[in-house]
Structure 1
């Protein structure tokens, strides 16, 4: 098996603001795994919150590249275990795991959702994210992209005012992501007003480790609450079940499709709603997420829609939210 690594600086259409940062580009690492005449592609983006850079991921792979390339590839699950034994952290694991799944599907000549025996005829529509900006700019972004479901990033001194203004311009469903910026008191106070404004749920309103605050929010909030920063890995799912109504799984944070599939199963056993989110990936990462769609209640896979120019071909998201799966097997990815 042969590995290739590429770094790209993805240019965003607009500055993307959340409660703790704003950026106009996104660095990403694309990994390709080639075996028996087929090539699979995987992706992980850099992330300052988790202290991850493309350089740190590349260095991890370079340190064990010989062991990876010498591995007799059979299934993504066994390959993932091999990579864990090599000590790779989750963002790096994700890129390799996504590439392994894409490769596996291409070797079997089947898309992943068919290998998993799921039906792609029914799936949730992805939300489109409106990042924090001036109210005027946020309204402008919303008008520029008519969409059935919006995720609104909040964490300002005027959060309810922002949503009230956005509501004047669309009847679409709103989801709110405060990215850890609120207190329990603010969340409980904001929730009734936001519910009246057509908000479906709140995502990670409190700091990731504020379990006492989340206990109050779970009891008193009139809106469901979805965990993001509080739910990183498989072991977090059960803990979150006592404090949240659902979880948002990020492939980069949990280590790829292999653990994500187990997290989905566990969450459903616990009665949690299941969402999978993106980290502003290109179509490489988004196409991997799309394979999970039949298993999800909600999805946030708009990363490639936020880019000025994509670097890959794969799953296509049409203007009404419909997904067009590629004819190519695996995740269906090719680089441009």
Structure 2
């Protein structure tokens, strides 16, 4: 199996800000795995919050390049088990796991959602994310991309005023993501006011390790609460069952599609709603997320829409918020 690593610097259409950071560019690692005339593509983005850079991921992977290229590839699941034994970070494992899944589907000549036995007859529509900015800029971003569901990033001194102002310009469903910026009191106070403004749920209002606070919130909030920073890997799902209404799985954080599939099953057994989110990936990462759509309640896969220029073709979103799947195997990715 041939391994190729590519670094890209993705240029965003607008400065993207959340409660703890802002950026105009997103560094991304693309892993290419080639076997028997087919090439699979995987992606993992850099993330300073988790101390991950493209360079650090490349160093990890290069250290075991020979073992990777001589591995007797059979299934993505066996490949993932091999990778976890090598002590790689989940971000690096994710890129390799996504590439293996794309390759496997292309070798089989089937998209992953078919291999997994799921149907595209029904699946959720992605939200479109509006990052923190002056209110007039947030309104302008929303008007630039009319969409049925918006995720609104909050964590400012004027959060309620922001949502009220945005509501004057659209009837779309709102989802709120405070990225750990609120207190217990703020969350419980804001929830009924936001519900009146057409908010569907709140995502990660409290700090990731504030489990005592989340237990108070889940019993007093009139809105569902979705875990993000509190749900990183498989072992977090069960704990979230007692403190949240649902979980947001990030492929880069959990280590790819292989553990994500297990997390989805576990969450459903616990009665949790399931969302999969993106990390401003290109169409490479977004196309992998899209294969999970029939298994999800919510999805945040707008990453490629936030870019000035994409680096791949695959699953795409139309201006009417429709998801279009390509007629090729795996995740359906072709690198430009």
Structure 2 length as normaliser, TM-score? Answer: 1.00
Give the aligned partner of residue 70 of structure 2.
70
Q: Distance in 2 between matches of 1:226 and 1:247?
A: 5
Superposition map of 1:162-201 within 5 A: 162-201=162-201
- 2:249 counterpart SS class: strand
Deviation string, structure 1 residues 24-55 (Cα, Å, up to 9, x no partner) = 00000000000111100000000010000000
Tell me how far 1:86 sits from its aligned partner: 1.1
Q: What is residue 303 of structure 2 aligned with on the other side?
A: 303
Q: SS of the residue aligned with 2:187?
A: helix
Map 1:58-137 → 2, pairs under 5 A = 58-137=58-137
Runs of at least 5 residues in structure 2 that lack an aligned partner in the other structure: none
Residue deviations 1:280-302, cap 9 Å, x none?
A: 00000000000000000000000
User: Which string of whole-angstrom CA distances, capped at 9 and with x for unpartnered residues, describes residues 132-169 of structure 1?
Assistant: 00001001101111000000000000000000000000
In the other structure, the counterpart of 1:27 is 27
CA offsets 1:245-292 (integer angstroms, 9 cap, x no match)? 000000000000000000000000000000000000000000000000
Within a 5 Å distance, the mapping from 1:251-270 to structure 2 comes to 251-270=251-270
2:214 is equivalent to residue 219 of structure 1: no
Post-superposition offset of 1:328: 1.3
Partner of 1:204: 204
CA distance in 1, matches of 2:288, 2:261: 12
- Identify the residue that residue 276 of structure 2 maps to in structure 1: 276
CA distance in 2, matches of 1:321, 1:116: 24
Secondary structure, aligned partner of 2:72: coil
Tell me how many residue pairs correspond in the alignment: 336
For 2:75 and 2:240, the matched residues in 1 are separated by 30
Query: Matches of 1:192 and 1:109 in 2, distance apart?
Result: 49
Displacement, 1:89?
Answer: 1.0
Please list the CA deviations of residues 174-220 of structure 1 after superposition, one character each: whole Å capped at 9, or x if unmatched.
00000000000000000011000000000000000000110110000
Structure 1 range deviating more: 318-327 or 101-110: 318-327
Distance 1:269 1:4 in 2: 38
Matched residue SS, 2:84: helix
Q: Which runs of 5+ in 1 are unaligned?
A: none
Structure 1 residue 151 corresponds to structure 2 residue 151? yes
Q: State the distance in 2 between where 1:114 and 1:183 align.
A: 43
C-alpha displacement of 1:303: 0.1
Q: Partners of 2:17 and 2:197 in 1: how far apart?
A: 22
Return the TM-score normalized by structure 1: 1.00
Cα distance in 1 for partners of 2:4, 2:307 equals 23
CA RMSD in angstroms, aligned pairs only: 0.4
| Aligned equivalent of 1:14 | 14
CA distance in 1, matches of 2:180, 2:244: 14
Secondary structure at the residue paired with 1:94?
A: helix
**2:64 counterpart SS class:** helix
Please identify runs of 4+ aligned residues in structure 1 that moved more than 6 A. Answer: none
Rounded to whole Å, the distance in 2 between the matches of 1:250 and 1:3 is 24
- Displacement of 1:120 in angstroms is 1.0
Per the TM alignment, residue 241 of structure 1 is displaced from its structure 2 partner at its CA by 0.4
Any idea what SS the aligned residue of 1:205 has?
Answer: coil
1:323 maps to 323
The correspondence of residues 225-240 of structure 1 with structure 2, limited to 5 A, is 225-240=225-240
The whole-number CA distance in structure 2 between the counterparts of 1:132 and 1:320 is: 24
